Structure 1
Amino acid sequence: MQAIILAAGMGRRLKKLTEHQPKCMVSVNEVPMIERMLKQLEHYHLNRIILVTGHEGEQLQSFVGSLSLHTPVTFIDNPVYQTTNNIYSLYLAKDYLLQDDTLLLESDLIFEQEVLTQIIRDPYPNLALVAHFESWMDGTVVLLDEQDNIMKFLTRKDFRFEDIHSYYKTVNIYKFSQNFSATHYVPFLEAYSKALGNNEYYEQVLKVISLLDDHDLKASRLENWFWYEIDDEQDLDIAESIFTDSQSRLTRLSSRYGGYWRYPGLLDFCYLVNPYFPNSRLMGEIKASFEALCTSYPSGLDINNLLAAKSLGLNKDNVLTGNGAAELIKPLIRSFSNAVGVIKPSFEEYGNCARFPVPFMVSTPDFTYTAKDLMEFYKDQELDALVLVNPENPTGCYMKRSEVLSLASYCMEKQAFLILDESFLDFSSAEEAPSLMTQETLEEYPNLVLIKSISKSYGVPGLRLGILACSDQAVLRLVRQELPIWNINSLAEYFLQIFEKYQSDYKEALKKFKVTRKKMFEELCSIRQLKLYPSEANFILCEITDGCSASQIAELLLNRYNILVKDLSHKPGMEGREFIRVAVRTESDNQRLADALKHILR
C-alpha cells in the first residue's frame, strides 16, 4: 500500500500563518501537521508516500527531506495551485493510483494514530472514513445505509439541517484498491477533469461514482477517535486543545469555559444546567420564531426588566436583567467601596470582584455552616455587604429559609446588604417555597439583593440570562448605569416573554430532576473510594479517599472516557483534600460517568 497526500493549497483562511509557508507546515502544539502525519504513516510500512505540493512547495520538500523517514517520499508539483482545486492535484498523481492500493489524505488533518489503523485494517478494500456530522462542520456530507454503503453525496441543494442526525461528514481519508482506481476512480477522474475543468474537488468524482449500481465504495464510521480538519485559526486553537498531553488537555478545555459543541462526544459534567428543561415544546416555539428573532433588534433594558418582573411576580422597578448573572454581579460588588463578606469555599466571582473581601473560611469537615456562625464571625467587623450562595456552590449545602431571613435581619442591623444568590435554589427539595424572591420580602428587607441565574435553573446557558432583584433604588441605579441599552439578545428576550406559560412543565422537570439526583447519589455512593456530600443543587461534591488526586481522576475521565468534570484540588477553602464536582445530567449520562469512575477506581 502507498499513501498520497494532497498539500498544494494556499490555506488563505489561516492568514499570516500560511503567508510564507505551506498550510501543512503550520504547527499544532509546536509540531507541524505534515511531520505528525508522515511519522504516523511510518507505522504501516508503506511502499511509498506521494506528496503533491504547490504553495511554497520547495520549502515543504526541503522540510520533509530533513525528517528521518524510512518510507520513501516522492514529490509531485502542482504549478497552477493558485487557479486549481484539489481535483487537479490528484489528477497529477493518477498514474500512481494505478500502481498500488492507496491511502488518500489531505494534509490539513490532524488525528489520533488509531484513525489510520481503523481504515487500514478494515478488510473492505474501498472506503471513505466518515464521522457523525456536527452542526459546525463544513465540507462533503454523505448518506449511508445500514450496511455502510454510501447512498448519496449530498449537494448544498440536498442538505437539510433538520436531518443532520442521519448525515456523515467525510474525514478526507480514503482507501482505494488498485483495481478500484483502475476501473472506477481514474477513468472518471480523467473524464470529469476534461469535461468540467480543474477548479473542482476530487469528491465530485466520488459523487458521480456513487450513482453507479456497482460503485463498490463503502464507509468506515469513526466513532471513538479524535480528528480535526484545520482550515482557520479557530480550528487551530481547538486542535491544540485536543491534541496535547493529558494534563494540558484538561487545563485547556477547562479554561475555554464552554463552547463544547465543537468537541464531538464530549460529555460535560463540569458546567451546571437543568437536564430536563426546556422541553421540546418550548424549544419548538423558539425555533418557529428563530428567523424573525435573528433578524430583529431586541428590546431595550426597560422592556426586558418588565418581562422578567412579570414572570417572577415582581415590580418592574425592582428588577434588572443581565447577560447572565455574571454581568450583574461585577457592577453590584464593585459598587461597595468597603468590606464585603464572602464565604469560602463558594462561587469565587463574588470574592474576585470585591475591593476588600473578608472571607469566612468554612472549617467543618462537611462544609456546613449556619447563619449563627456567620453572625458570630462578622459581629465585630464593618461590612458593606455579605454574600450568601444558597444552595452553596460547590458543596451543595443548604440554609433554611428561616435562617436566611435571620441573616437578612442581622445585616439590616449592621446597615449592610445581604446578597443572596438563589441560582440553584429551584433544585432543592429541603422545604416548600424556600425562595425569598417575592415582592413582599423585597419590601420588608430593602437591604436584600437577590441574584438568580436563569441559565442554570432553566437549562438555557447559551441564552445568557440572569436576574437581579432589590427594592433599594440606589443599588439598582448603580448597577444599571454599567449596563448597555441592549444587553440581552432577541432569543433571550423571547424566552423571557414565553417561559411563564411553561411553568407547569418546569415544575415537572424539577420533580424528574430530583428523582434523577437521588438515583445518581445512590449509584456514586456504591463506589467505596468516593465520599459524597448531600446536595440540594444540580451537582454533587465527591471526595476521593483512596490516595488518588482529583487532578488524576479528572484527567483520566477526560482522556479515557471523554468526560469533563470540575477539579477542585486548587479551590480556596478545600486545600489539602481531593474533590471533584459532578453535574447531575440525564440518567443515561449519569450511568456513563458512574461506570467510568468504577473502572478508574476499581
Structure 2
Amino acid sequence: MTQPNEIQHAILLVAGVGSRLRPLTDELPKCLLEVGDVPLLIRLLRQLHSHGIEHAVLATGYLEPKIRACVAGYSGIPDITIRHNPHYAETNNAESLRLAMPALQGHPFILCDGDILVKKSGWLGDLLAHPHDNVLAMISPEKMGDEEMKIALADGDAPVGERPVVGLSKRLDPAKSAGESLGVQTIGADFFGPLLDRLDGMSANEKANSYYEDIFAELMGDEHTFYAHEVPVDAWTEIDTVEDLEYARELFANWQK
C-alpha cells in the first residue's frame, strides 16, 4: 500500500480539443484558458507542487506546441515530461493515460483532468495522504444528470472514505449514486501494472470511446479496491463550455473574498 504523502508523481490529461469552448479554443488549448489571470494548467501545477509533487507528465494532443511553450516558462515542479497522443482527435482519455503512464515507471501517482479549477485548500493534500490507495475525489451535488461521472459506494454505516466504490459510470442511476467524480484521483503502485496492462490491451473501439473511469470500473474488485474522498461542492469546478468558464471565474472571485 502507498504510504501517506508518498506520492510525488502526477499525470495531467491535457489532450482535448475543447470544441464546446470555441471560438476561445480555436488557437488555445482549454487547459491554457485563464482564471484569475493564470492558465488553468499552471495553477494546477503550482497546487500539486505545493503538496509534494516533483514530477508531472502532461498527456498532450491538441495544440501541443502552445502547452510546451507555456510550461517552458514555469519553474515550479522540477521534472515535467510531455507525452503526446498523436491520435487525440480520434481517441478518448484512456488512450492518453496509456501513453503517459510508462514515464512513471510504476510509481504511485495522482491523475488529474486538465480542465479543472481547484480551490486553494487542503483537500488535495488530504487526498494525497488518504490511508487507502486508489482514491477518487468526489462531490455530492444536489442533482446529477447523464453527463456526470457518478460514483456508487458499498452500503453500510462506515464513513464515506471507508466504504469501497462499487460503481463508476455516467450510466449509473443518480438516485443510487453517492456523488460525482471530479477527475482527480490517486493510483497506488499495486494497481499500476494491472491498469497499464489493461490499457495496453484496449481494442481500437475502446481507444476511441473509453474513459479511463470505464477501465477503472472494469478492474475494480477484491484485488483492486477504490475508495472515495469527499470534497466540498464549491471547492472545484470543471470547464467544458463557455458558460462553465464564466462560472469558474465567478467562483474564483468568490474564493478571494
TM-score range, shorter chain: 0.7 to 0.9
The 8 Å contact of residues 108 and 231 in structure 1, kept in 2 or not, is answered as yes
**Cα offset, 1:190, TM superposition:** 2.1
Kindly indicate whether residue 119 of structure 2 is the aligned counterpart of residue 101 of structure 1: no
Query: Residue 135 of structure 1: which of 139, 143, 151 is its match?
Result: 143
> Across the two proteins, how many residue pairs are aligned to each other?
241
What do residues 366-406 of structure 1 show as CA deviations (whole Å, max 9, x unaligned)?
xxxxxxxxxxxxxxxxxxxxxxxxxxxxxxxxxxxxxxxxx
Kindly indicate whether residue 128 of structure 2 is the aligned counterpart of residue 120 of structure 1: yes
Kindly indicate whether residue 233 of structure 2 is the aligned counterpart of residue 218 of structure 1: no
Report the equivalent of 2:164: 149
The 8 Å contact of residues 142 and 169 in structure 1, kept in 2 or not, is answered as yes
Query: Residue 203 of structure 2: which of 171, 194, 204 is its match?
Result: 194
The 8 Å contact of residues 141 and 233 in structure 2, kept in 1 or not, is answered as no
Distance in 2 (CA, whole Å) between partners of 1:80 and 1:31 is: 28
Q: Which has the larger radius of gyration?
A: 1
Report the equivalent of 1:439: none
Q: Which amino acid aligns with 2:168?
A: F
The alignment partner of 2:53 has SS state of coil
The 8 Å contact of residues 45 and 77 in structure 2, kept in 1 or not, is answered as no
Query: What CA RMSD, in Å, does the superposition of the two structures yield over aligned residues?
Result: 2.0
Q: Alpha carbons of 1:224 and 1:12: their partners in 2 closer, same or farther (altered >3 Å)?
A: closer
Distance in 1 (CA, whole Å) between partners of 2:181 and 2:47 is: 20
Q: Which amino acid aligns with 2:112?
A: L
Q: Which has the higher contact order (CA 8 A, sep 6+)?
A: 2
- Is there any run of 5+ residues in structure 1 with no aligned partner, and where? 250-602
Query: Residue 179 of structure 1: which of 186, 190, 199 is its match?
Result: 190
Q: Which amino acid aligns with 2:69?
A: S
Distance in 2 (CA, whole Å) between partners of 1:230 and 1:224 is: 15
Q: TM-score, normalised by structure 2?
A: 0.86
Distance in 1 (CA, whole Å) between partners of 2:238 and 2:77 is: 26
Distance in 2 (CA, whole Å) between partners of 1:99 and 1:154 is: 26
Q: TM-score, normalised by structure 1?
A: 0.38
The 8 Å contact of residues 14 and 231 in structure 1, kept in 2 or not, is answered as yes
Matches within 5 A, 1:393-408: none
The 8 Å contact of residues 97 and 178 in structure 1, kept in 2 or not, is answered as no
Matches within 5 A, 1:359-374: none
The 8 Å contact of residues 35 and 249 in structure 2, kept in 1 or not, is answered as yes
The 8 Å contact of residues 115 and 225 in structure 1, kept in 2 or not, is answered as no
**Cα offset, 1:46, TM superposition:** 2.2
The 8 Å contact of residues 119 and 129 in structure 1, kept in 2 or not, is answered as yes
What do residues 58-106 of structure 1 show as CA deviations (whole Å, max 9, x unaligned)?
1111111112224211111111111111111011013135431100001
Q: Which moved more, 1:10-19 or 1:143-152?
A: 143-152
Query: Residue 205 of structure 1: which of 215, 224, 227 is its match?
Result: 215
Kindly indicate whether residue 253 of structure 2 is the aligned counterpart of residue 238 of structure 1: no
Query: Residue 42 of structure 2: which of 35, 38, 49 is its match?
Result: 35
What do residues 539-585 of structure 1 show as CA deviations (whole Å, max 9, x unaligned)?
xxxxxxxxxxxxxxxxxxxxxxxxxxxxxxxxxxxxxxxxxxxxxxx
The alignment partner of 2:27 has SS state of coil
Distance in 1 (CA, whole Å) between partners of 2:84 and 2:51 is: 25
The 8 Å contact of residues 51 and 124 in structure 2, kept in 1 or not, is answered as no
The 8 Å contact of residues 97 and 186 in structure 1, kept in 2 or not, is answered as no
Q: Which amino acid aligns with 2:132?
A: Y
What do residues 237-276 of structure 1 show as CA deviations (whole Å, max 9, x unaligned)?
11111112657x6xxxxxxxxxxxxxxxxxxxxxxxxxxx
The 8 Å contact of residues 46 and 77 in structure 2, kept in 1 or not, is answered as no
The 8 Å contact of residues 57 and 82 in structure 2, kept in 1 or not, is answered as yes
Matches within 5 A, 1:286-297: none
The 8 Å contact of residues 59 and 100 in structure 2, kept in 1 or not, is answered as yes
The alignment partner of 2:124 has SS state of helix
Q: Which amino acid aligns with 1:69?
A: G
The alignment partner of 2:67 has SS state of helix
Q: Alpha carbons of 1:17 and 1:134: their partners in 2 closer, same or farther (altered >3 Å)?
A: farther
The alignment partner of 1:244 has SS state of helix
Distance in 1 (CA, whole Å) between partners of 2:169 and 2:237 is: 21
The alignment partner of 1:16 has SS state of coil
Query: Residue 30 of structure 2: which of 15, 23, 32 is its match?
Result: 23
- Is there any run of 5+ residues in structure 2 with no aligned partner, and where? 1-7, 157-161
Kindly indicate whether residue 181 of structure 2 is the aligned counterpart of residue 170 of structure 1: yes
Over the matched positions of the two proteins, sequence identity in percent amounts to: 27
The alignment partner of 1:19 has SS state of coil
Q: Alpha carbons of 1:197 and 1:238: their partners in 2 closer, same or farther (altered >3 Å)?
A: same
Query: Residue 68 of structure 1: which of 51, 72, 75 is its match?
Result: 75
The 8 Å contact of residues 56 and 77 in structure 2, kept in 1 or not, is answered as no
